[in-house]
């Protein structure tokens, strides 16, 4: 017995009741498992593929090419003078992460339902696992950026210091939404069908294919409440230089925190009945 | 004594069952219901985990509520090995799930002191694409081990499973036997303070089962608290000091394991072994014949639910023949847990196959000899057949059930063999082995 002797942990189990905050100490106790779950997701994703992790580059790269041809060349979308490939690359990479992580997190409980009914570990690890695992894809896909930035001669600026804040929002959105959607999806499988459309539509809710400057000042505040806008606009100014769009980033930071906190509360409230509704 | 490991206080668990869809009897109604279905579906799925105070009160008699556990209270002392027994549906698995925190109790509370590992299944979280080595770590941490613990036990685990050569092969290329052995090896090396085990010993080949049983015994001797569910009464008496007998979600007996096992075997638990229809009009059947009672009886004509594998089982049907114009043939069909039909049987008094029975009360009993059925729950479908194949005055699927138990005291087909004897039946056959001591094979 390696952990015995020091202190005996006592757990009290009662009927489900009210709201609870996330128990970070418990997650810390399960950190080894958490690490293995994340690692399993990473390892299994590209199992038995020829290209392996190259898919993490190919997926956004193909999207960038398609969007650049359709929206850049054919539709000639106005991009504040930025070459369209550059314009879309810095947006599509974080967007791919957010949409993939959100989709995977929303399905995490349904997919893990066999395990859900057989073993206990903090339920919140289910949606958190894909959110972290997809970060590996995100990091790899950043490699697409390097040649594009070099080709267009983009020099790094002090705006880069903003990156940690943007990454925080970028992870908080799929985590919060993932917790909301996973808790809903386990009870109502409609979520899976709806997600396909939601993701397709969400890409238009943020300035991924067009520029935020096209949004009129009267609706700009409402527009800025979408935290995806903050991430995309933030990435643009962060990587390409230019003025930092605080009008988008600050509201995004607030709403993403709100999504995260409410998601966590809702998930904790519902987590105890998951097994009974599978 | 305050040194408890697990303490349950009036624990109840309620499930909602029987969410039947109503059938539409007209097109118009069908359309209305289709339009309204999102709302009804929403209510339906919500109601799965919400119960009104009225439904939870003792007076509620609706059939959509199932009390899987009702006011279960007991305390398990540290170091005690407790066997939980009961027929299928008695609430054993629910009890383990509630204690393992997989599902919360509807009311009551549980206090657990110590680190728990629950083993409701072997190989939880095994991923076919991962190698044996990787799965050991993943499964080990899922079952509650720290990585460092898996590190130190790794060689032992691999040795126990006997899969050294395939450690770096994806588990999807393993045979099912290898997979089970590896999964159990991980489980067997858990060292929690409290171990909760569901019927997981029923896997693998006989030799491996024996190995697991020995390992379980060691765990118990090391002073760990063990809660163990099994249908294998021999394993219960061998491993456990204390037995808890559950029936219909409640503890009905609690004490020294041997005594509890005995009382379980002789109790005729529940009502599923006997059914009566006291009111003629409500009884299954029609104007020609009505079923009045069903019973599973032992040699002494006493209703019983648990049967020693060596003893005969009587299937008894009581019925009133009303018109007496048609031949009536009582009929039973026996199936096991998996729904596999073991055999069907029809009245062996062949006169009834051609001649109508005179009106009156009949009791027909079919005797199943001892040492024919195998261990497990047997479900009996009961019917009255006539000469017209499609006309059955009554047929009741899985109307009654009973358990067959091998007490492993000898005299059964098992003999001294403790391993698995697979199959739908376990007849005691005549075996003849001829031996020639001076044959060429032996001497040359």
Which pLDDT value is given to residue B272?
63
Which whole number is the average pLDDT over B60-65?
A: 73
The band of A179, judged by pLDDT with boundaries at 50, 70 and 90, is very high
Q: Which of B101, B129, B152 sits opposite A120 (nearest CB)?
A: B101
Q: Is A18 a member of any domain?
A: no
The pLDDT-based confidence of A132 (bands split at 50, 70, 90) is very high
Long-range contact pairs involving B127-130 (C-beta distance under 8 Å, separation at least 24)? B127/A40, B127/A44, B127/B171, B128/B170, B128/B171, B128/B172, B129/A43, B129/A44, B129/A47, B129/A48, B129/B170, B129/B171, B129/B172, B130/A40, B130/A43, B130/A44, B130/B170, B130/B171
pLDDT score of A138 more than 90: yes
Whether B106 sits inside 8 A of A15 (CB atoms) is yes
Q: How high is the pLDDT of residue B281?
A: 84
Count of alpha carbons within 13 Å of A10, Cβ hemisphere only?
Answer: 8
pLDDT of A211 reads: 87
CB-based contact, A212 to chain B, within 8 Å: no
Q: What is the reported pLDDT for A65?
A: 93
Highest-scoring range by mean pLDDT, A259-268, B179-188, B302-311: A259-268
Domain with CATH 2.70.50.60 in chain B: 274-405
SS3 of B57, please?
A: coil
Mean pLDDT of B254-265: 82
| pLDDT reported for residue B207 | 64
CB contact under 8 Å between A4 and B115, yes or no, is: yes
- Compute how many other C-beta atoms are within 10 angstroms of the C-beta atom of residue B95: 28
> Is residue B133 pLDDT above 70, yes or no?
yes
Q: How many domains does chain A have?
A: 1
CA-nearest residue of chain B to A277? B48
A8-12, A106-110, A262-266: which has the minimum mean pLDDT? Answer: A8-12
Reported as a single tens digit per residue, the pLDDT across B6-23 is: 999 999 999 887 555 556
Residue A127 within a domain:
yes
Q: Which residues of B touch A272 (CB under 8 A)?
A: 103-104
Banded pLDDT at B161 (limits 50, 70, 90): confident
Q: For residue B130, list chain A residues with Cβ-Cβ distance below 8 A.
A: 40, 43-44
Among the listed residues B408, B345, B412, the one whose alpha carbon sits nearest the alpha carbon of residue B373: B412
Distance of alpha carbon B156 from the chain centroid: 33
* Residue of B67, B104, B119, B120 to mutate when probing chain A, most A C-beta within 10 A: B104
Q: What are the pLDDT digits (tens) for A62-73?
A: 999 999 999 888
- The answer to whether A276 contacts B103, with C-beta atoms less than 8 Å apart, is yes
Give, as one character, the DSSP assignment of residue B170.
Answer: B
* Confidence (pLDDT) at B27: 80
Q: What was the pLDDT predicted at B202? A: 53
Task: Give the pLDDT of residue A85.
Answer: 92
Angle between helix axes A246-270 and A163-185 (nearest 10 degrees) is 30
pLDDT in tens, B329-388: 999 999 886 667 899 999 998 888 888 989 999 999 999 999 999 888 788 889 999 988
Residue A237 placed within a domain: yes
Calpha distance B366→A146 (Å, rounded) = 83
Q: Chain A interface, mutation test: which of B8, B39, B101, most A Cβ atoms within 10 Å?
A: B101
Query: Which of the pair, B3 or B129, is modelled with greater confidence?
Result: B129
Using the Cβ of A15 and the Cβ atoms of chain B, whether some distance falls under 8 Å is answered with: yes
CATH 2.70.50.60 fits domain B274-405 = yes
Q: Give the number of C-alpha atoms closer than 13 A to the C-alpha of residue A4, restricted to the C-beta side.
A: 11
How far is Cα B427 from Cα B310, in angstroms, rounded to an integer?
A: 10
Q: B130 and chain A: CB distance < 8 Å anywhere?
A: yes
d(CA B313, CA B405): 12
Range B273-292 average pLDDT? 86
Sheet holding B194-197, edge to edge: B116-119, B194-197, B225-229, B81-85, B242-247, B250-256
Instruction: Report the DSSP pairing between strands B341-346 and B329-336.
Output: antiparallel
Q: How far is A277 from chain B (nearest CA, A)?
A: 6
Q: Do B124 and A12 lie within an 8 Å CB cutoff?
A: no
Q: How confident is the model at residue A3 (pLDDT cuts 50, 70, 90)?
A: very low
Assess if residue A205 is contained within a domain. yes
- Cβ <8 Å between B129 and A272: no
B44 touches chain A (CB under 8 A): no
pLDDT tens profile A6-62: 456 788 888 877 677 788 888 998 999 999 999 999 998 888 889 888 999 999 999
A65 touching chain B per CB within 8 A: no
**Mean pLDDT score across all residues of chain B:** 84
Determine whether the interchain pair B137/A118 forms a contact, defined as Cβ–Cβ distance below 8 Å.
no
pLDDT of residue B271: 42
Q: pLDDT-derived band of residue A112, with 50, 70 and 90 as boundaries?
A: very high
Q: How far does chain B reach from its first CA to its final CA, in angstroms?
A: 69
Q: Are B101 and A12 within 8 A, CB to CB?
A: no
* Chain centre distance of CA B316: 23
pLDDT value of residue B441: 61
B103, B143, B148: residue with CB nearest A2: B148
Nearest to B191 among A1, A9, A119 (CB): A1
Region A95-121 average pLDDT: 93
Mean pLDDT along residues A170-188: 95
pLDDT score of B1:
47
Position A130 in a domain: yes
Whether residue B102 and residue A8 make contact (CB cut-off 8 A), yes or no, is no
- Whether B429 has a pLDDT exceeding 60, the answer reads yes
* Mean pLDDT on A132-161: 92
List C-alpha distances in Å: A57 to A68, A112, A202, A232, B154.
16, 27, 22, 19, 36
pLDDT average, residue stretch B203-225: 72
Domain with A139, as residue range(s), is 31-265
Strand pairing of B225-229 and B81-85?
parallel
Closest by Cβ to B105, choosing from A14, A37, A187: A14
Residue of higher predicted confidence among A77 and A183: A183
A224 within a domain of the structure (yes/no)? yes
Q: Are the beta carbons of B102 and A275 separated by less than 8 Å?
A: yes
pLDDT of A268 reads 92
CB contact under 8 A, B124 and A40: no
pLDDT band at B2 (very low <50, low <70, confident <90, very high): low
pLDDT tens digit sequence for B396-422? 877 888 888 877 777 888 887 777 788
CA end-to-end distance (rounded Å), chain A: 35
Which fold would CATH assign to domain B67-267? Rossmann fold (3.40.50)
Distance from the B399 Cα atom to the nearest Cα atom in chain A, whole angstroms: 28
Q: Is A92 domain-assigned?
A: yes
pLDDT value of position A5 = 40
In this complex, is the C-beta atom of A218 within 8 Å of any C-beta atom belonging to chain B?
no
CB distance B116–A11 less than 8 Å? yes
pLDDT per residue as tens digits for the range A203-230 = 999 999 898 888 888 899 999 999 999 9
pLDDT for position A162: 92
Residue A256: is its pLDDT beyond 50? Answer: yes
Number of C-beta neighbours around residue A121 at 10 A: 22
Question: Which chain B residues touch A11 with a CB distance below 8 Å?
Answer: 101, 111-112, 116
**Residue B21: what pLDDT?**
57
Q: Which of B182, B94, B60, B177 is nearest to B130 (CA)?
A: B182
Report d(CA A25, CA A271) in Å as an integer: 17
Residue B139 has pLDDT above 70, yes or no: yes
- The more confidently predicted of residues B257 and B267 is B257
pLDDT(B204) > 60: no
Of B26 and B296, the structure prediction assigns the larger pLDDT to: B296
Nearest-by-CA chain A residue for B48: A277
| Residue A273 in contact with partner chain B when CB distance is under 8 A | yes
Lowest mean pLDDT among A141-155, A180-194, B197-211, B382-396: B197-211
The answer to whether the CB atoms of B137 and A277 lie below 8 A apart is: no
Whole-angstrom Cα distance, residue A193 to residue A186? 13
């Amino acid at each position: 017995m390696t952990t015995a002797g020091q202190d005996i942990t006592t757990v009290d189990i009662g009927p489900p009741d009210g709201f609870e905050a996330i128990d970070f100490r418990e997650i810390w106790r399960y950190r080894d498992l958490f690490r293995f779950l994340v690692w399993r997701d990473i390892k299994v994703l590209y199992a038995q593929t020829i290209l392996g992790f190259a898919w993490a580059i190919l997926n956004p790269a193909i999207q960038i090419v398609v969007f650049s041809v359709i929206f850049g060349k054919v539709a000639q979308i106005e991009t504040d003078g930025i070459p369209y490939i550059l314009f879309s690359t810095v947006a599509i990479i974080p967007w791919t992460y957010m949409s993939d992580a959100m989709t995977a997190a929303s399905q995490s409980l349904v997919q893990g339902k066999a395990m859900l009914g057989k073993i206990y570990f903090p339920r919140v690890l289910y949606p958190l696992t894909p959110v972290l695992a997809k970060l590996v894809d995100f990091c790899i896909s950043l490699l697409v950026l390097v040649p594009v930035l070099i080709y267009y001669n983009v020099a790094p600026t002090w705006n880069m210091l903003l990156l940690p804040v943007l990454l925080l929002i970028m992870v908080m959105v799929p985590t919060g939404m993932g917790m909301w959607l996973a808790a809903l999806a386990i009870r109502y499988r409609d979520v899976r069908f709806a997600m396909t459309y939601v993701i397709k539509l969400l890409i238009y809710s943020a300035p991924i294919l067009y520029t935020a400057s096209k949004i009129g000042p009267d609706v700009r505040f409402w527009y800025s409440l979408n935290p995806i806008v903050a991430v995309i606009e933030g990435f643009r100014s962060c990587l390409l230089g230019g003025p930092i769009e605080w009008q988008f980033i600050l509201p995004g930071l607030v709403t993403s925190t709100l999504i995260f906190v409410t998601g966590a509360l809702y998930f904790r409230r519902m987590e105890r009945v998951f097994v009974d509704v599978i | 004594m305050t040194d408890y490991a697990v303490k349950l206080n009036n624990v109840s668990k309620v499930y909602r069952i029987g969410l039947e869809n109503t059938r539409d009897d007209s097109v118009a109604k069908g359309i209305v219901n289709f339009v309204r279905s999102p709302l009804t579906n929403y209510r339906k799925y919500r109601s799965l985990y919400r119960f009104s105070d009225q439904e939870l009160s003792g007076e509620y008699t609706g059939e959509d509520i199932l009390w899987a556990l009702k006011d279960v209270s007991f305390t398990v002392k540290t170091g005690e090995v407790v066997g939980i027994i009961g027929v299928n549906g008695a609430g054993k698995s629910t009890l383990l799930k509630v204690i393992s925190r997989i599902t919360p109790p509807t009311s009551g509370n549980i206090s657990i002191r110590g680190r728990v590992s629950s083993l409701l299944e072997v190989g939880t979280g095994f991923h076919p694409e991962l190698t044996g080595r990787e799965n050991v770590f993943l499964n080990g941490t899922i079952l509650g081990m720290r990585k460092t613990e898996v590190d130190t036990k790794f060689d032992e685990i691999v040795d126990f499973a006997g899969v050294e050569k395939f450690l770096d092969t994806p588990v999807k290329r393993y045979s099912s036997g290898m997979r089970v052995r590896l999964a159990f090896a991980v489980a067997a090396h858990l060292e929690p303070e409290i171990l909760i085990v569901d019927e997981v010993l029923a896997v693998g080949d006989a030799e491996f089962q024996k190995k697991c049983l020995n390992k379980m015994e060691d765990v118990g001797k090391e002073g760990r608290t063990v809660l163990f569910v099994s249908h294998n009464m021999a394993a219960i008496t061998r491993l456990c000091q204390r037995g808890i007998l559950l029936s219909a979600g409640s503890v009905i007996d609690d004490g020294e394991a041997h005594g509890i096992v005995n009382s379980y075997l002789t109790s005729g638990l529940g009502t599923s072994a006997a059914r009566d229809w006291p009111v003629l009009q409500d009884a299954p059947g029609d104007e020609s014949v009505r079923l009045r009672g069903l019973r599973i009886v032992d040699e002494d004509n006493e209703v019983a639910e648990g049967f020693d594998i060596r003893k005969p089982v009587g299937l008894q049907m009581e019925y009133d023949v009303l018109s007496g114009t048609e031949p009536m043939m009582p009929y039973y069909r026996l199936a096991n847990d998996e729904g596999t039909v073991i055999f069907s049987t029809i009245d062996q008094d062949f006169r009834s196959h051609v001649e109508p029975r005179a009106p009156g009360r009949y009791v027909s009993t079919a005797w199943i000899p001892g040492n024919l059925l195998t261990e497990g729950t047997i479900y009996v479908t009961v019917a009255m057949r006539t000469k017209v194949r499609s006309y059955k005055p009554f047929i009741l699927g899985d109307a009654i059930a009973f358990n067959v138990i091998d007490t492993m005291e000898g005299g059964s087909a098992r003999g001294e063999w403790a391993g698995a004897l697979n199959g739908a039946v376990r007849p005691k056959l005549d075996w003849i082995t001829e031996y020639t001591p001076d044959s060429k094979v032996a001497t040359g």
